[in-house]
Structure 1
Amino acid sequence: MNHEDNERELFKRLEAEVFADSPAEESGDVVDFDKARTTRSDTNGSADGPGVESDDDDADRPRPVDGPQPKDPGLMGQAREAGRRELVPSWLKTRAELGTAVRWLAAYVGHIVAFHALRSPVYAGRLLRHTPRGIGRSLRGWRRWASDAEGAGLRSAEAFREHTGEYLKLSRQRDRRVRWRGAVTVVMLPILTTVALLLAFAAPWWIQTLAIATAVGVFGVVGAPADAPISQHAVVKTEAPKLTASMVTIALGALGNAELNAAIKKGAGLRFTSEIHRDGPGWRADIELPPGVTPDDVIDKRKELASGLRRKLGCVWPMPNPDDHEGTVILWVGDRPMHEAKAPVWPLAKSGTVDLFKPVPFANNQQMRWVNVSLMFVACVIGSIPRMGKTFLMRLLLLIAALDPRAELHAYDFKGTGDFRPLKPVCHRYRSGEEDEDIKYCLDDLRELKTELRRRAKVINSLPLSRCPESKVTSELASDKRLRLHPVMVVMDECQKAFEHDKYGKEIQEIVTDFVKRGPALGFITVLATQRVDKHSIPTPISANAVLRFCLKVTGQMENDMILGTSMYKAGYRATIFSFKRDKGMAWMSGEEDEPTIIRGTKVDAPMADTIVARARKLREDYGNVTGIAADEDLTADAAAGYDLLADIRTVTTAEEERIWNERIAARLAELRPEVYGGWKTENVTTALKPYGVKTTGVAGTTDAGERTTRRGIVRAHILKAIAERDDKRDAA
């Protein structure tokens, strides 16, 4: 029986034994015959039976599983895979950063010049005091040079060793030097004497003064002691030295992570994926951690890391690297803590307008670069523990919207402290307080906005695709006053007061949920703030649809993920790292970029807010968009009467429409308030205007079919006059 027959017979016996002794056939398991064959061979010493050696050497060899190793990519492949460094530094990319760098350099040089100029009399006195010593040192040095004194020691050493040949060579060299240097001295001495006499007796006074100052400066520096320099340092050595790989390695080793320490001890597993380089006012290191170590292990030990780097906690910011795998971390180390760093001036503080459909700079990151925010087409949630800057951040967003003269602002401060009061001159609706009447005021306003939301949906649906291809409000549509699709911003601080109200809360939740879900496409911006974003403070249907999120200081993982989103804490985006005392106004911002980023909002105090609002009010007056409470129109009075016809007609007409048909006014009023004006026709408008003294007249116009005709209508100036007269009577009363 040959080898193949023996092997087949062995497998038959093996198969019979396996199926006889194992329940694999009954359970449906698959038998690994290769493993069984190996086990059988190991037991019997050979696959051919007891005492018989197998001729097949491969049976006892481990099988390779990696396959052939790939070839190196070669020069071209390496070039394709290599990351390319930026052509220009980051501070040269934007005018703002370039201006910041130039201003810093100018201030630095100016400080040095001013420092030394102020101390110049002291420096002059020191130079004058050291001048005699400098003259003596200069004469002694010239004498030593002329006599070749520097070679005397070497000649003496060679003479002591009795190296006659070397000594004679050095002596001849000394003779040549002395002859040449003596000749130079003989020639220069009368020239210098003549120059000195001319300066003393023939030169103008200013040349004499300059010569004396030069001589005092030169001989004073020569005569100054080494341990007492003439000048002082204008700047002290920075406390933030250059970040190096050894510093980072030592700091990471101090974190107490076993895998990290083992890799550092072996000198393998910890790798810097790029050079440590300047990144804004600090240093950036991109680190590949050892296997099994994640960025969380470093972020959780931020205090220990700062201690290892010998930096303040506010300087050290480890964060995940969204552009690389889960074993990499970005370590940014600032020269100064973020709360101490001087932030650049907000570009919109003194001038400029806003287009809410474009990103607007509003905050700085750790590198003191501007971070943009896009408010259109999103709803926003802001959360943190008290006294960390939520209201300041909301007021900043309101100021941004106020600088777009088209925007309509509805600001509600349910904390009741009046933080939004500076914005009242530009708000359509404003309220501060948490009483029942304040919540009811908000609800009445939201009901009007709900009607407006429905009207906008109909307008968008009626527009041709050429004007509205994406079925949403655009900047061009918002600028068309006839469509009345301007941005509407609703801001509610301490929103839990409204949502949890026992009488009005449920309806407010329903309306705001509609704003958050349908409103972004129709020009609505909803901004909500509270301490803890749970299902009671901000109902889940609202918070789940909020794209833009700001998380300031929180105390735990649950609160962090409630604001930023599920698993954000685990991914390394943790607002628990912020200090309560030092990091006010700092937050993780999520929703603007692909990954969350740390920001510090521009600080705008109440006086600065008043200045910005005054500029925003002027922009709105020029644009013709001063409405609501900014125009002294009280929502409470309107709600009591059911409607304000004159104000509504002014709203549905534009300044360009000097005369307009009553039938068109009726149609627009029905869209504005269907519960009040639904079914109105020409005669209804005529009758309703009689008590105000507004008469109708024949108005020439063009029908929708393009025909010219004359129909009953009004003159818009008469409406404005009636409003002014009514307001004057109210003021007189």
Structure 2
Amino acid sequence: MNTPNPDTPNRDPSDDDLDHTVRPHDPADASSAPQRRFDAEVIPLRPADDDAPVHKDEDARAADIDTSFEVQLDPEPGAGPEPVDDGIGYLLDDPDGDAYPVIPENLRTLGGVGEAIARHTRRFAHRIAFHAVRTPRYGVLALLWSVVGVWRLGNRQLAWWWVSEQDYLRSLAVASGDSREWYRLHREVKETRRVRGLILAGQAFGVLAALLVMVSVAPWWAWAAVAAVGVPWLAHLGRPEDHPIIVPAMTVPRFRLLNHDVVLRAYYAAGLGHPDKPNQQVTFETTMSRTKEGQGSQVKVVLPHGKGFDAAVNAKKELASGLDVAPSQVYLTHDPSSHRRHTLTVMDRDPLAIPAGKTPLLDCKPRNIWQPAPFGLDEHSRKVTLSLLWISILIGAQPRKGKTFAARLLALYAALDARVRISVVDGKNSPDWNKFAMVAYHFIRGTVPNRAGDPVRQLIDALAEIKRHIIDTNEFLSTLSPEECPEGKLTEELCRKYPKRLFIWMLVMEEFQNYFELPDQDDNKQVAELLSFILAVGPSSGVILLSSSQKPSGVGAGDVQRLFNRYRDNHAVRFALRCGNRNVSDAILGGDAYSEGFDASALPVGKPYLGVGYLYGATDHTPTVRTHLADHGDAEKILTAARQLRERAGTLTGYAAGQDTTTPDRDVLADVLAVFGSDPGLHWNELADRLAGQIGDRWADVTADAISAQCRDLGVPSVDVKRAGVTRKGCRKQAVQAAADTAAAS
């Protein structure tokens, strides 16, 4: 604890001479234990004795206090009661988080209020339109059933007059042979019929008189008013109970009622306990309650000793069967305080079958990459956003499960920020990413050479350029003063101040595994090494790596396989849609995800569940996300607006602007001859070092394997070369010259 400053406001002057220390009370050791202290350049505190020397200079005294501290752990013998820290200044979050919000989250902004008003307005308008179309039908049915209602009303009146409810009592008297009782009941019924008959006669006379008056003097609107009141009442009286005249315009949701008995039955049916065996009963830590969003029920469950959370995860389908709901309605949340405890949440309806709707990016407004990107809705219909900076994102799934659409959502968000440079590498050469050619700095498709050139060479050059950008960014940040760059990392202010040197760069790698399985192993190694470097260093330099794959394992061999696994496993955030099996799910989400209850191979299958997946690693909570939708037409609309934003800001460069983003054209054989000098032969590693050192603008990132492959492709054999007593693979100058002459002649 820091020594208190005597100049602190509102301080009691009588405390100036107190030795402010913290002494935990330990009666057993108070008299015998030696005084224990820990200090860092300890300056003695001001003693309690008023005659003790003090600092001559108050400024120096304050400086000493600010740079030293002392904590006395044991009390002095005979000391008085110890002060107790009341905890003022320490705020702990509610670990349960059971408090309902005072104002719902969707009503805390003007936009949310407007959205709620618009939603209720749409429902009200739908009801009006629905019933307006069916008004003629309602009128005809009302007239027909009102006739039946008149008949039923007459029958009821006659039954009331005839005292039919007494028939049973008189029949009982006859059956028992009680004549006196029968005569008594008969006299009563005769008197009652006389009174009720007079009443009905008066009623009939009144109705007839009213009709005669209305026929003679009542206007048309009076008849309309009587009909408006009488016909609906008579129609309601005449219609059958199960045939309403006015049908509802919207369905009313019906939910299964859950209670503790239903939950216990489900857990016992799933084999997670037994009601009759000792110490095998399932118990509850809380009562059954509604979720905060009001869309489901939840309860904290305590499993028997010996049963853990992983057992509940494995029995999720059996639990759903016992609860009589779909597995996608059941959610298990682990309690970090105990492996036996978890929260069971059962949604009223299948939340994953409800689409999240179109992406909000369709408004085509400018976005800021420093703000979270909208991604979709979670299982509680809460909005899910993803901060793209300082992370790398891996998206994996089976084909046609929404993987490319999910990755494209995040790339579209980056495209609407005109200051973000985007490189798109599409390993499957599909039309899904074609419209990004309007804004992309690099746009590379496939693995086979085409009219646009060799995509593999283009990829290596693009990755090398991104690597140089990362190195240049870090070197530039290191030259800035601590005042300008206090944390030594990229900030939004620095990007605005130095837009030519500092900017955000998004690299999209669609089906990236295809670039680890190239025919040329040297190309595989180059791509793997460059991607591994970018993944390790890039995020801290403002490079966002967005990778997607349908084959996240079993790629390559040797160093390529090792680099592929390292590249795959080091992504900070993972999004797994439906996978073929648990091994693929673990490859995408990581090995710890399954033990936490997340298995992408168990996600539901079907068209309503496209775009549904687990977002793992973005926060402590792992939501099940239903991604927003942006189809090809939506993507084209957004990218057209993004191009206009970049043209207006003057940031449209690279492929989209018609510029050549590849490295300068290089004549491999001429450059190799230029660095050979007078040596008759060179090892491949020596040749690579000379090219990088002497012609760095074209060969900065060349490796021995890369230059060996390129030379061999041009007809230069790889032979044993002895230099300085060491024999290694290399090439001879004579062979390079012969290959160059052959190329020139052809």
State the partner residue of 1:354: 367
Asked whether 1:343 is paired with 2:356, we answer yes
Asked whether 1:310 is paired with 2:310, we answer no
State the partner residue of 2:88: none
| 1:635-674 matched pairs, under 5 angstroms | 635-636=661-662, 638-639=664-665
How far apart are 1:421 and its partner, in Å?
0.8
Counterpart selection for 1:430 from 434, 443, 465: 443
Normalising by structure 1, what TM-score? Answer: 0.67
Asked whether 1:375 is paired with 2:388, we answer yes
Asked whether 1:209 is paired with 2:224, we answer yes
Counterpart selection for 1:497 from 504, 511, 514: 514
How far apart are 1:270 and its partner, in Å?
2.8
Counterpart selection for 1:532 from 529, 549, 552: 552
TM-aligned CA distance change 1:284 to 1:465, over 3 Å? farther
| 1:545-624 matched pairs, under 5 angstroms | 545-579=570-604, 581-582=606-607, 583-624=609-650
Q: Which amino acid aligns with 2:296?
A: W
Indicate if the aligned counterparts of 2:397 and 2:403 stay in contact, CA closer than 8 A.
yes
How far apart are 1:293 and its partner, in Å?
2.5
How far apart are 1:430 and its partner, in Å?
0.5
TM-aligned CA distance change 1:410 to 1:566, over 3 Å? same
How far apart are 1:422 and its partner, in Å?
1.3
Asked whether 1:398 is paired with 2:398, we answer no
State the partner residue of 2:236: 221
Instruction: Give SS of 1:253's match.
Output: helix
State the partner residue of 2:99: 85
Q: Partners in 2 of 1:372 and 1:351 — Cα distance?
A: 18
Q: Partners in 2 of 1:286 and 1:567 — Cα distance?
A: 25
Indicate if the aligned counterparts of 2:403 and 2:548 stay in contact, CA closer than 8 A.
yes
Alpha-carbon displacement from aligned partner over 1:142-187 (angstroms, at most 9, x marks no partner): 566689876897899899999999x9999999999998x9998798
State the partner residue of 2:47: none
Normalising by structure 2, what TM-score? Answer: 0.66
TM-aligned CA distance change 1:560 to 1:98, over 3 Å? farther
TM-aligned CA distance change 1:533 to 1:226, over 3 Å? closer
How far apart are 1:440 and its partner, in Å?
0.8
Q: Partners in 2 of 1:289 and 1:478 — Cα distance?
A: 52
User: Structure 2, unaligned stretches of length 5 or more?
Assistant: 1-93, 555-559, 669-694, 701-746
Q: Which amino acid aligns with 1:343?
A: A
Asked whether 1:293 is paired with 2:307, we answer yes
How far apart are 1:470 and its partner, in Å?
1.6
| 1:41-190 matched pairs, under 5 angstroms | 84-88=98-102, 92=106, 105-106=120-121, 108-139=123-154, 141=156
Q: Partners in 2 of 1:81 and 1:489 — Cα distance?
A: 37
Asked whether 1:468 is paired with 2:481, we answer no
Q: Partners in 2 of 1:545 and 1:584 — Cα distance?
A: 26
Q: Partners in 2 of 1:288 and 1:200 — Cα distance?
A: 73
Q: Partners in 2 of 1:82 and 1:676 — Cα distance?
A: 59
Asked whether 1:459 is paired with 2:476, we answer yes
Q: Which amino acid aligns with 1:223?
A: G
Indicate if the aligned counterparts of 1:555 and 1:576 stay in contact, CA closer than 8 A.
yes
State the partner residue of 1:15: none
TM-aligned CA distance change 1:560 to 1:637, over 3 Å? closer
Alpha-carbon displacement from aligned partner over 1:354-389 (angstroms, at most 9, x marks no partner): 221221211222223221111101122223343333
State the partner residue of 2:497: 480
Counterpart selection for 1:388 from 401, 404, 416: 401
Indicate if the aligned counterparts of 2:143 and 2:231 stay in contact, CA closer than 8 A.
yes
Q: Partners in 1 of 2:513 and 2:95 — Cα distance?
A: 52
TM-aligned CA distance change 1:262 to 1:249, over 3 Å? closer
Indicate if the aligned counterparts of 2:535 and 2:567 stay in contact, CA closer than 8 A.
yes
How far apart are 1:607 and its partner, in Å?
1.1
Asked whether 1:248 is paired with 2:263, we answer yes
Indicate if the aligned counterparts of 1:473 and 1:522 stay in contact, CA closer than 8 A.
yes
How far apart are 1:494 and its partner, in Å?
2.0
State the partner residue of 2:377: 364
Q: Partners in 1 of 2:95 and 2:426 — Cα distance?
A: 54
TM-aligned CA distance change 1:558 to 1:97, over 3 Å? farther
Asked whether 1:516 is paired with 2:535, we answer yes
Instruction: Give SS of 1:509's match.
Output: helix
Alpha-carbon displacement from aligned partner over 1:175-218 (angstroms, at most 9, x marks no partner): 99998x99987987776555433433323323323323432222
TM-aligned CA distance change 1:414 to 1:264, over 3 Å? farther
Larger mean Cα displacement after TM superposition, 342-351 or 95-104? 95-104
Alpha-carbon displacement from aligned partner over 1:454-504 (angstroms, at most 9, x marks no partner): 221122122233332221111222223545312101111222233444123
Indicate if the aligned counterparts of 2:357 and 2:629 stay in contact, CA closer than 8 A.
no
How far apart are 1:674 and its partner, in Å?
8.0
Indicate if the aligned counterparts of 1:384 and 1:553 stay in contact, CA closer than 8 A.
yes
TM-aligned CA distance change 1:236 to 1:92, over 3 Å? closer
Indicate if the aligned counterparts of 2:422 and 2:505 stay in contact, CA closer than 8 A.
yes
Counterpart selection for 2:658 from 629, 632, 648: 632
Q: Partners in 1 of 2:281 and 2:292 — Cα distance?
A: 27
Instruction: Give SS of 2:400's match.
Output: coil
Q: Partners in 2 of 1:537 and 1:612 — Cα distance?
A: 38
Q: Partners in 1 of 2:613 and 2:241 — Cα distance?
A: 52
How far apart are 1:402 and its partner, in Å?
0.5
State the partner residue of 1:717: none
How far apart are 1:94 and its partner, in Å?
5.6
Instruction: Give SS of 2:591's match.
Output: coil
Indicate if the aligned counterparts of 2:364 and 2:416 stay in contact, CA closer than 8 A.
no
Alpha-carbon displacement from aligned partner over 1:319-365 (angstroms, at most 9, x marks no partner): 33356532233444445545531323322222433221221211222
Counterpart selection for 1:196 from 205, 208, 211: 211
Instruction: Give SS of 1:361's match.
Output: strand
Aligned residues: 564
TM-aligned CA distance change 1:409 to 1:211, over 3 Å? same
Q: Partners in 2 of 1:155 and 1:110 — Cα distance?
A: 59
Instruction: Give SS of 1:288's match.
Output: strand
Q: Partners in 2 of 1:161 and 1:114 — Cα distance?
A: 66
Q: Partners in 2 of 1:589 and 1:432 — Cα distance?
A: 27
Q: Which amino acid aligns with 1:520?
A: P
User: Structure 1, unaligned stretches of length 5 or more?
Assistant: 1-79, 643-672, 679-733
TM-aligned CA distance change 1:498 to 1:310, over 3 Å? same
Q: Partners in 2 of 1:618 and 1:514 — Cα distance?
A: 33
Indicate if the aligned counterparts of 2:373 and 2:410 stay in contact, CA closer than 8 A.
no
Indicate if the aligned counterparts of 1:91 and 1:98 stay in contact, CA closer than 8 A.
no
Q: Partners in 2 of 1:174 and 1:102 — Cα distance?
A: 64
TM-aligned CA distance change 1:556 to 1:139, over 3 Å? closer
Indicate if the aligned counterparts of 1:240 and 1:311 stay in contact, CA closer than 8 A.
no
Q: Partners in 2 of 1:137 and 1:387 — Cα distance?
A: 62
State the partner residue of 2:340: 327
